[in-house]
Amino acid sequence: MRMLLIHADRFSYEVTERTPIAEEVEEEAKSGSSEDCLVVFSAVERGDEKNVEDVVSQAVEEVRRVAEQVGAKNIVVYPYAHLSPNLSDPETAIRVLRGMSESLSKRFSVIRAPFGYYKSFNISCKGHPLSELSREVKPREEARVVKGEKRFLVVTPSGEEMKPEEYLAGAARDEFAVLVEREALGRGGGGPPGEPEFISVVKKFQMNWEDFSDRGHMRFGPAGDLLFSLVADYSSQIVRELGIPVYFVRGTNMFDLSKKPVREHADLFGDRLYQLEVERRTYVMRYAACHQQFSMLKDWTISYKNLPFGVFEVADSYRLEQSGELLLCFRTRKLHMPDLHVICRDEKEAWEWFHKINERIFSEAESLGRNYELLVNLTSEEFYRRNKEEILKLAKKRGKNLLICFYPPGVNYYWSINVEYHILDDLGRPREIGTVQIDFGNSRRFGIKYIDADGNERYPYIIHTAIIGTIERYLYTLFDTAVKMRKEGKAPMLPVWLSPVQVRLIPVSDRHLEYSERIADELEDFRVDVDDRGETVSRRVRQAEEEWVPYVVVIGDREVEGGKLKVRTRAERAEKEMTLEELKERLKTEVAGKPFRHLPYPRRLSQRPIFAA
């Protein structure tokens, strides 16, 4: 913010014309005059919205100091855009100017000229050495006041409580022990140096960083796009199966930081905000679907009879992760969050849905053959003591220990409990995938209400969850699982429903091509291709294996004449004789209940380009 301060004998102004950004004011505010006054010509600048309160405080202090130096009892706050080429948005400017006037009026007689009008003015400057001064203030970084550090506690299913060091002293080195050591004590779990093996797998399926963008942004080739789309479809399917109405919405990816709820939510989220400046406004790129869904929900008329219900979007989200920590499919700056918010009547209903979602999160991991260990973040020990029975249900249901993390006083997040679900990856590192939170603050912050049975307005509780994690982290889990399979002596592969090619047909020669095409037609409900290239059969089979195709069928004279197929099955690393119907039934069983999308390429391999990640 820039200010020009003129100590004047007289000052008067009068509105001449309204502009499109003019604030609404009473008629008497459209003209004004003052004598023996300090006129504060003011230009609020871009960036001031980051800490309006601080800008107002600094500006008021500068004006007060000058007014006392020159002996002025009267102040005129006058908007004057010509002091800066880098102006803020109108909402921020009005907030700053109003804040200054209200604060200064506690000690001075203050007139504020309205914002957004053309005005004529007359001024008579006193002409002494301090009668013309300029000042500039900038928002200081608003640091969270945190007293103390995070405190950790290990809690067993029976409710026994131990310090992390005490637990580790007698514990086997299992996955939970690694989580405790890494999160509570800050050691271990880093993995060996070098590129993780799963990176080569990610690239095999045509996913990589986009060099023409900012760091941390991925690109997806045809195979990668298919995987991404199927996982997004599956995330949508999961929420439809929860047993409550779920409303699918879609919105924008940037929100105005001058809007109070947006700014407050961003302040609570903390660091890693991706910001964008457009036409003197500062926007935060959304870091989850919260802003959009809450902005919609505040405008809905909701009855207690409608609750609980969910709101869902696969939301492109942005977090300014440190460049040194970026990792394909795991830590990216653009991510896709299948974000579900469950709107609940009260805390009791919120806990009920919290536990239902916890079970679904676990079942999704188990369907991939993975285990989760839990880090339970809490905003206070008081919350833990009051809700210990509910928190212990997380441990008792599956006989798991919990790592409890108490945030220090002064860190007021929007959630009261935030559970992180960690896998232990191929390199022995805890990796957060899924999450669920209980939130009561945002319904008040955004003005989301429902009408209870007595006709009273109530603020609902809100469950935040990404049941399978981000789309990228679910893919990460799949690839990490495949690497573990290889190290266990198994054939690494994706679940059949996610394999870009589910069946590959390899005609021995051109005369077998027509029959191969007929078989492919019979398998039209699956992703089937035909390797018609002029390579040797063994080379084509080897390439199918390199591409992790689950079922490979070589078609020669015997198959054409006999009707039986010799099917190479990747899961068993075996060759089995099947009829076409038996192959169909096996495929149906393997993809049952999962979403389907068609082959992302032409059926014949000879018609495809060679894809790079």
Top-level class of domain 2-136: alpha beta
> Residues with Cβ < 8 Å from 167, sequence gap 6 or more?
154, 177, 180, 401
Please give the angle made by the CA atoms of 119, 122 and 127, to the nearest 5 degrees: 135
What is the DSSP secondary structure assignment for residue 491, as one 8-state letter? P
- Predicted confidence at residue 47, as pLDDT, reads 83
- Predicted confidence at residue 143, as pLDDT, reads 41
Top-level class of domain 496-607: alpha beta
How do 373-378 and 309-318 pair as beta strands?
Answer: unpaired
Cα 368 off chain centre by: 23
Residue 337 to residue 289: CA distance in whole angstroms: 7
3-class secondary structure per residue, 101-134: HHHHCCCCEEEECCCCEEEEEEEEECCCCCCEEE
Residue 502 to residue 526: CA distance in whole angstroms: 7
Supply the pTM of this predicted model: 0.80
What is the DSSP secondary structure assignment for residue 428, as one 8-state letter? S
* Percentages of the chain per state (helix, strand, coil), in multiples of 5: 35, 30, 35
Pick from 548, 543, 420, 433: nearest CA to 483: 548
How do 2-18 and 132-136 pair as beta strands?
Answer: antiparallel
Helices (H) then strands (E): counts for the chain: 17, 28
What is the DSSP secondary structure assignment for residue 22, as one 8-state letter? P
What is the DSSP secondary structure assignment for residue 197, as one 8-state letter? T
Residue 223 to residue 498: CA distance in whole angstroms: 10
Q: What's the CATH code, domain 151-211+225-250+288-316+335-471?
A: 3.30.930.10
pLDDT-flagged residues of the chain (< 50)? 142-146
- Predicted confidence at residue 54, as pLDDT, reads 87
Please give the angle made by the CA atoms of 48, 54 and 59, to the nearest 5 degrees: 85
- Predicted confidence at residue 192, as pLDDT, reads 58
Q: Counting every residue, how long is the chain?
A: 613
Structure tokens belonging to residue 299: 């405008």
Indicate if 151-211+225-250+288-316+335-471 has the same CATH topology as 2-136: no
226-265 core/surface letters (b: 16 or more CB in 10 A; e: else): bbbbbbbebbbebbeebeeebeeeeeebbbbbbbebbbeb
The three-class DSSP label of residue 6 is strand
Do the beta carbons of residue 314 and residue 471 sit within 8 Å? yes
State the DSSP H helix or E strand holding residue 545, giving kind and residue range, or none if neither: helix 537-546
Using alpha carbons, list the distances in angstroms from residue 244 to 233, 396, 397, 437, 454: 18, 26, 23, 18, 23
Helices (H), 271-338: 290-297
Do the beta carbons of residue 251 and residue 296 sit within 8 Å? yes
Residue 523 to residue 579: CA distance in whole angstroms: 12
Do the beta carbons of residue 491 and residue 475 sit within 8 Å? no
Pick from 440, 442, 422: nearest CA to 431: 422
Q: Where are the domains of the chain?
A: 2-136, 151-211+225-250+288-316+335-471, 496-607
Residue 319 to residue 317: CA distance in whole angstroms: 7
Do the beta carbons of residue 504 and residue 510 sit within 8 Å? no
- Predicted confidence at residue 31, as pLDDT, reads 96
- Predicted confidence at residue 612, as pLDDT, reads 81
CB atoms within 10 A of CB 389: 10
Q: Give the CA count within 13 Å in the CB-facing half-sphere of 174.
A: 10
Residue 433 to residue 478: CA distance in whole angstroms: 11
Q: Peptide bond preceding 308: is omega within 30 degrees of 0, i.e. cis?
A: yes
- Predicted confidence at residue 332, as pLDDT, reads 95
Do the beta carbons of residue 302 and residue 273 sit within 8 Å? no
